[in-house]
Amino acid sequence: MIDRNDLTRVCADWMAVDQVQDYCPNGLQVEGKREIRKLATAVTASLDAIEAAIEWGADALLVHHGFFWRNEAASIVGAKAARIRRLIQADMNLFAYHLPLDIHAEFGNNAELAKLWNLVDDASDVKRVWRTGSLEFSLPIEGFVDRIRRTLRREPLVIQAGPKQVKRVAWCSGGAQSYFAQAIEQGIDVFITGEVSEPCYHQALESGVHFIVAGHHATERYGVQALGAKLANQFSLEHRYIELANPV
Ligand SMILES: [Zn+2]
């Protein structure tokens, strides 16, 4: 069991949330009951995820994508009201960790992707959200794509534009296509993120760098699971990760 305020403090400490510039609040976003024994995790605090957490009897739901984004309307109406109403009715806490949970060197999304794909992080510029690193051995691009397909259980979209054998990699969970140009400057063979925009196609071809679109949801499943497991282990909580398929 852990007190909700202690959980807030522990996570703030582990992830140094006050040192990360973000565009949503990181920490306790909706306050519920005081004592937490059952912790659910999910990628996004969607209504389906909230209902599944309530059904399981969770005392808290911890997500990567919570509420209150910088450019969204402040009013609590419509779908946002429905989500918050269900949380408050159930007296369930909502914790959200966005960028702090992408960049954490031990259990962040990018660190977890490196473990899944056997990438050695250069560990340069540790506060930068996107990462560069290397495969242990160079691989045919098809082999690397197959590794991503198998581990994420999802068909990636591949813009094949780089060398036949790949070794140098840049990657970032979620929607990090805007970092592609900066990553190219680091001398990479392949760039992987969750989403893509139209200009990336031409950028890839003209720079000779492969671009792999591995799914925003699929690349962000792993941080919340690792954090949830660590909290469960440390404070003897029951933990359940709620996977809700999302094709994006
Ligand atoms: Zn995201």
What are the angstrom distances between the C-alpha of 158 and each of 11, 12, 17, 121, 202? 36, 37, 34, 22, 13
Cα of 202 to ligand 1 centre, how many Å? 24
Model pTM score:
0.96
| Residues 6+ positions from 218 with CB-CB distance below 8 Å | 152, 153, 154, 194
* Residue-level pLDDT at 127: 80
pLDDT tops 90 at residue 125:
no
Per the structure block, which two tokens stand in for 224? Answer: 């919340």
For residue 235, the tally of other CB atoms under 10 A from its CB is 17
Cα of 217 to ligand 1 centre, how many Å? 7
* Residue-level pLDDT at 213: 98
Cα of 99 to ligand 1 centre, how many Å? 8
Cα of 20 to ligand 1 centre, how many Å? 15
Mean pLDDT within 2-25: 96
* Residue-level pLDDT at 124: 85
Cα of 65 to ligand 1 centre, how many Å? 6
Cα of 178 to ligand 1 centre, how many Å? 13
Cβ pair 173, 166 in contact under 8 A:
no
pLDDT tops 90 at residue 35:
yes
What are the angstrom distances between the C-alpha of 186 and each of 102, 135, 163? 20, 15, 15
Q: How far, in Å, CA of 183 to CA of 238, rounded?
A: 40
Cα of 173 to ligand 1 centre, how many Å? 7
* Residue-level pLDDT at 242: 98
Cβ pair 34, 230 in contact under 8 A:
no
C-alpha torsion sign, points 83, 84, 89, 90: positive
* Residue-level pLDDT at 126: 79
pLDDT band of residue 85 (cuts 50, 70, 90) is: very high
Cα of 66 to ligand 1 centre, how many Å? 10
pLDDT band of residue 185 (cuts 50, 70, 90) is: very high
Cα of 164 to ligand 1 centre, how many Å? 30
For residue 205, the tally of other CB atoms under 10 A from its CB is 14
Q: How far, in Å, CA of 170 to CA of 93, rounded?
A: 35
Cα of 98 to ligand 1 centre, how many Å? 7
The string of pLDDT tens digits covering residues 191-204 is: 999 999 999 999 99
In 3-state terms, what secondary structure has residue 194?
A: coil
